[in-house]
Amino acid sequence: MIQMKKCFTELYDFLSSSFECHTDLKLNLWNQIYGEQIPQLSSGLEKCTNLSSLNLNISNCYIGDEFATGLAISLKNCPNLSIMKLYLSGNDISGEGILSFASTFETYTNLTDLTLSLESNNIGDKGVLGLTSVLAKITCLTSLTLNLSSNGISDHGALNLGSSLATYTNLSNLKLDVSVNQISDEGVSAIGIALANCKKISNLSLDLISNQFGSQGISGLGSAFTSNINLSKLTLYLENNQINGQGLSCLFSDLSNCINLTNLIFNFKKTQIGDEEISSFSSVLEKCIYLSNLQLNLVQNQIGNKGVSTLGEALRKCFRLSDLTLSLDDNLIGDEGVSRLSSSLGNCLNLSRLTLNLNYNQFGDQGVSSITSNLKNCTKLSKLALAINKSQITHQSISDLIFVLPNWGNISNLSLHLAFNSIGEQAALDLGIALSNCHNLQNLELQLSYNDIHSKGALDLASGIAKCANLSTLELRLQDSGIPYEEQLEIWIKCLQSKKLVVFILVL
């Protein structure tokens, strides 16, 4: 009897199964087996001749080239695979070992969906050449996830990768991770130029973190976006390279053609972005009228009041935005900038999930007051996360927050990170009372460490939290509170009075 789908987490259970019955097989053996057991696994897999879908995770098993070759040979007996997901990270596989898998892939004439995770091996440029040249022959491939992070790949390997990518003209989904390698301008440009040929791609993810390219490379990468009007989902990670403002401005100019984006995830941490570059990026956002999900990591840049105000004006025009994450930690944003940004966000009336990270900036109570006052109009919020650690805020900020909490009656997930401020005991009491009236709250995370909150304030806060009738997950951090052990126990018991609580973390 043919089985539709089967999942195994133990090698023994798989070896005891009816191999010929499997058509959709998942084996999650991550960090569970070792090289000498691979022949047993291979022996079983080569008998699964009816497989159409295989999900195999043997990451961190240190199988090496010899056992990798044996595994690859056994998979040749599964010629009907249309979906294959292989997770081989951390297995000490070199370029020679990966070539055996390349030979196997040539037999899969029906393969449409391939995931190949090879992170933290020793594939190098030679392995990339052998692998990608074979993958280019799989003409029916429409979805490809390729993780080559931490594999000693240089420009030579990136050029070969680009040559192969240029032939993947039927791809609609591509996720490529070449982070933590030695790719410079030439290699990144080659990848960008190649992607320009993949005009059917609608979902693209590129992870280029921790390489060696600069503005010239990022300008070349922009080629991928100049003519791709089908792109609806884009994820781009550029952290820890040598990019300057000029290169980013060129990239943003190329991105202006991607007007059909609905999901956009950018990691531009520590990329020397200032107000001028934010202005260029904001002009891109203004054109993304279909955008519903936006995640921006702009941590540790030089964005000031002018830049964040311009960003806010662009977001105001994204009428369909429902899920927004803004990480602007450690910039140059003051009260004025926060006020203008939050004023714009207050007009995003369809927001249901909002994460706003503003740690280590230059604003205080006035800025927090503008955030709470402006966001009170976002009545559809079900998830709200505010991180304002070390921002010179006092009890006044908590009072402003408490005042608008009733407007967010739909919130089920609330996270407040307000550590290293001067909130005090009374604010803890007031916050506890306010939270007790949040009847839909299910998940609560409070980071209030280093805020002059001691025994009384902590106990008052816990008493309020205990009245949250639907709370299932609670994380409460009140470090440096100097609370005696006996009173710590009392706080613990008080929190546990919340009847539906399943997960509870208390740090004092």
The 10s digit of each residue's pLDDT in 165-175 is 988 889 999 99
What's residue 147's pLDDT? Answer: 98
What confidence score (pLDDT) does residue 214 get?
A: 93
Residues 6+ apart with CB under 8 A from 234: 204, 205, 258, 261, 263, 264, 265
* Count of Cβ atoms closer than 10 Å to residue 71 Cβ: 24
Structure tokens at 87: 């997770």
pLDDT at 4: 65
> Angle at CA 455, nearest 5°, toward 454 and 459?
115
Three-state DSSP at 294 gives strand
Domain 393-507 homologous superfamily, CATH: Ribonuclease Inhibitor (3.80.10.10)
Closest among 106, 122, 20 to 68, alpha carbons compared: 122
C-alpha 498/C-alpha 463 separation (Å) is 9
Instruction: Round to the nearest angstrom and report the end-to-end CA distance of the chain.
Output: 57
The answer to pTM > 0.85 is: yes
Angle at 175 between CA 173 and CA 176, to 5 degrees: 140
Length of the chain, please?
A: 508
Cβ(278)–Cβ(310) below 8 Å: yes
Q: What is the pLDDT of residue 129?
A: 92
Identify the pLDDT of residue 481: 78
pLDDT per residue rounded down to tens, the chain (508 residues): 455 678 999 999 999 999 999 999 999 999 888 888 999 999 999 999 999 999 999 999 999 999 999 999 999 999 999 999 999 999 999 999 999 888 898 889 899 999 999 999 999 999 999 998 888 888 889 999 999 999 999 999 999 999 999 888 899 999 999 999 999 999 999 999 999 999 899 999 999 999 999 989 998 999 889 878 889 999 999 999 998 877 888 888 889 889 899 999 999 999 889 999 999 999 999 999 999 999 999 999 999 999 999 999 999 999 999 999 999 999 999 999 999 999 999 999 999 999 999 999 999 999 999 999 999 999 999 999 999 999 889 999 999 999 999 889 899 999 999 999 999 999 999 999 999 989 899 999 999 999 999 999 999 999 999 999 899 999 999 998 788 888 999 999 999 998 899 999 999 8
- Token pair of 178, please? 């070449």
Please answer whether residues 241 and 212 qualify as being in contact, where contact means their C-beta atoms are separated by less than 8 angstroms: yes
- Residue 1 has a pLDDT of 47
Q: Are 274 and 302 in contact (CB under 8 A)?
A: yes
Handedness of CA 179, 180, 183, 185 (dihedral sign): positive
Q: Which residue has the tokens 């390489």?
A: 211
